[in-house]
Amino acid sequence: FVGTFHWLPNVEAVEFLVEKVWPLVKQAVPKARLRIVGSSPTKKIISYGSIDESIEITGRVADIRHEYARANLLIAPVFSGKGTRYKVLEAMVSQTPVVGTTIAFEGIKAEPNLHYFEADTANELAAAAIKLLQNPQLQTKMGRASKEFVEKHFSWENIASSLLKVYEETATSTTI
């Protein structure tokens, strides 16, 4: 999981992940490890690393790209909040497969089961994570597809081109 813990939806997501999803994943994949990455973890989040040796709390990291490079997947059990889901886009462009809730992918318009796995319950999130952890070929396939999607739809060139079209349309439709 990646996120800043000044943002309540990230705190809620990690608590749900650790308390509801992680026990199911560990049961199926006993060697799995959970890294919780992000600045300002709460005391409760920090305590997870003491209670369960399979959980590591990193706090803030110098370069998030290294975290994605070493991860087999990102789990994003986001149930509240609005805005751009940078953690999802960063993971996808890093070829890190993503398992998350419907809200985690809100506004991204990627295709479920091709670019990511969507799941809204603890059992569904765990099942999707387990499926990826047990299938490295699927991790690679989904990682490549998601990177291509982000590069096509969220590159600076693509965004600038779309913005230029809006400016041109506005300029031609505005009368003085």
Taking only the tens place, the pLDDT of each residue in 71-82 is 999 999 999 877
Residue with the two structure tokens 């959970």: 34
User: How confident is the model at residue 160, as a pLDDT?
Assistant: 67
**What confidence category does residue 157 fall into, taking pLDDT thresholds of 50, 70 and 90?**
confident
**What confidence category does residue 176 fall into, taking pLDDT thresholds of 50, 70 and 90?**
low
Is the distance from CB of 104 to CB of 124 less than 8 angstroms?
no
Average pLDDT, the chain: 91
Find the mean pLDDT for residues 108-124: 96
Most confident of 62-66, 93-97, 107-111: 93-97
- What's the predicted TM-score (pTM) here? 0.86
User: How confident is the model at residue 86, as a pLDDT?
Assistant: 85
Find the mean pLDDT for residues 109-126: 96
Q: Can you state the angle between helices 86-93 and 136-154, rounded to 10 degrees?
A: 110
User: How confident is the model at residue 92, as a pLDDT?
Assistant: 95
User: How confident is the model at residue 49, as a pLDDT?
Assistant: 93
Query: Which residues make Cβ contacts (< 8 Å) with residue 61, sequence separation at least 6?
Result: 37, 67
Strand pairing of 98-100 and 55-59?
Answer: unpaired
